[in-house]
Chains A and B, each alone.
Chain A
């Protein structure tokens, strides 16, 4: 029995007022004048408007209004070549504005963590209510608000973090324990933003797939953030929290942790569960990662460009039995980076690409597209962090050349034809090959490509328990019914 990616959804949430709470900015701001100090002022002189974020070409690719290959024809810097008549809604989902997202945060908040001032709630209520995926129950959780004086006291006296809009304090997010670091305000903020943005993209998935939330059997969260308490730091579940918010009353779930490779692990696990007959419909969900917001801000300030990491990226996939139309996950194609495989790039790529293709009797040039780490290079290059997708595509092309599948002179053609420019926000798990899944599905249904190999890597060594990396891959093929 074949297993398919039945539907994909993607969303971006513009969160300029949370750039100060990204892991890098919050640390740097704390030693550079704190809130209101010079560094925070510099950062906020470089944040984008919602309209600029919507019209940014890579963001239009992420939500499906542009194909990744269209970026080849848009001059860089892309932030100076905005898409005319850009739309916040796209075939895969939407780009959500921050005022509306505050409504989603309140809807996600089951512990009265977020206090918003009554004046701010009055300002955003109609905007939140106008969102087609917000329910009456969500709206009721906005409540009537907390007096701004009480909010300021909570910030000053009880380690709550201020929430901003248009440069003003409009609320706070409080801690829920005075001694448990896993329940301090900043950790809860990270987790709540993941939950709220994950719910946004999950609802888009249901709308696109035309299914009811109650039709889902199981949820796998590949979100980066770890929910838990001091006795079990990563032991909690964003999958069930997001599923509850989306009324998936017949589903259970758990979280997959594999650094940036987690989405591929989650999709392979989901496909295996469906193939084994354990579940019929599994959702893979990834909410946005606050920690990565503003991660490369210093490079952006140095180059006098906008702080481009102001978007939470969110992904959702519905994995089901064969429907006769959707692209097929080849479970016999899974490539894994074994513990004993070696850690240099050639070893990793051989494990993830060459070995599985050899097993299937395929050449590298039999694959129409490769999706790898899809980080937007315009974010990473100014910070000296290189062009991650291009580096990976060059290694793939070099492997194809070593295998005598292409001539050495054809390396650039391989990269252009079978690769693509990076277009994803640098959110760790979000760029991990899967931003192309929606495009690949459309391309396969239209007969433009026959297959794509998805390859992601994870930096396990960052956790200081092993020097190992991780990686996983799978081949996606056009449904045989389409190919006929």
Chain B
């Protein structure tokens, strides 16, 4: 049996700038879906507001990555195991609900508390660390996100 510790799962919940379900073949409604259009079109992107959120969450992602990514020296430092960063669309509820629930129960939260975390984690923007929602309904500043994750990981060392 492998003795490797289970990775800490950090979920960055935010929408993609595309249609995800029910739209059939036209699903990925982004200018880039057509490729040729993306490079030259002057038309405003329909998901510009989501794009703005994606860019801001990108900063959070990169900050967390530089802190906990493969090339960082956190192992043996601030966390008790590897960290897995996953970006999930809140409409992917089959995965999201299951992942938050499992992580929350795994770290010993009660059924009621786990359900509360699942609920909070399905916002259009959320940051979840091992089943506990650190931010819901807003995108934290990168340093704020790193501090919150570090605090959560530290609290369980």
Please determine whether chains A and B interact with each other in the same assembly: no
Point out residues on A near B: beta carbons under 8 Å: none
Point out residues on B near A: beta carbons under 8 Å: none
